[in-house]
Amino acid sequence: MSDIDFANQPKQYITETSKEVHSQFEAILKFATTKYEKSKISFSQGQVCRQNSRGGARPSKSKPKPNKCIKVLQRNICPNCGCRLISLIGQERTRIIIDFVLSRLGIRKVITKYVGYQEYCNKCKTKYVPPTLLEFQKNQFYGHGFKSWVIYQRVGLRVPYDSIVESAKEQFNETISSTRITFFMMNFAKYYANTEKLITERLLESPFIHADETKFNIRGVNWYVWIFTDGKYAIFKLTETREADIAHQFLKDYNGILISDFYSGYDACRCRQQKCWVHLIRNLNTDLRENPFDIEYEDFVVSIRDLINPIMESVQKYGLKKRYLYKFKMEVNSFYKEKIDNKVYASEVASKYQEHFLRYRESLFTFLEQDGIPWHNNTAENAIRHLAVQRDISKGSFHEVPTRNYLVLLGIRQTCRFQGKSFFKFLFSGETDLEKFEARKR
Read off the pLDDT of residues 100-122 as tens digits, 9 standing for 90 and up.
999 888 899 999 888 888 888 88
Residue 162 has pLDDT above 90, yes or no: yes
**Residue boundaries of the structural domains of the chain:** 62-141, 189-273+378-441, 277-368
- The alpha carbon of residue 79 and the mean position of all alpha carbons in its chain are separated, in whole angstroms, by 42
Q: Give the pLDDT confidence of 390-439 residue by residue, as tens digits.
A: 888 877 678 999 999 999 999 999 999 999 999 999 999 999 999 999 76
Question: How many helical (H) and strand (E) elements, i.e. helices and strands, does the chain have?
Answer: 17, 11
Instruction: Judge whether 266 and 247 are in contact, CB under 8 Å.
Output: yes
Q: Among candidates 237, 251, 224, which has minimal Cα distance to 410?
A: 237
- What is the pTM for the complete model shown? 0.80
127's CB contacts (< 8 A; 6+ apart) are 88, 91, 118, 119, 120
- Third-level CATH fold of 189-273+378-441: Nucleotidyltransferase; domain 5 (3.30.420)
pLDDT of res. 137: 65
Alpha helices (H) along 364-433: 378-394, 400-418, 423-429
Reported as a pLDDT band with limits 50, 70 and 90, residue 61 is low
Count of alpha carbons within 13 angstroms of residue 287, beta-carbon side: 21
* pLDDT score of 276: 96
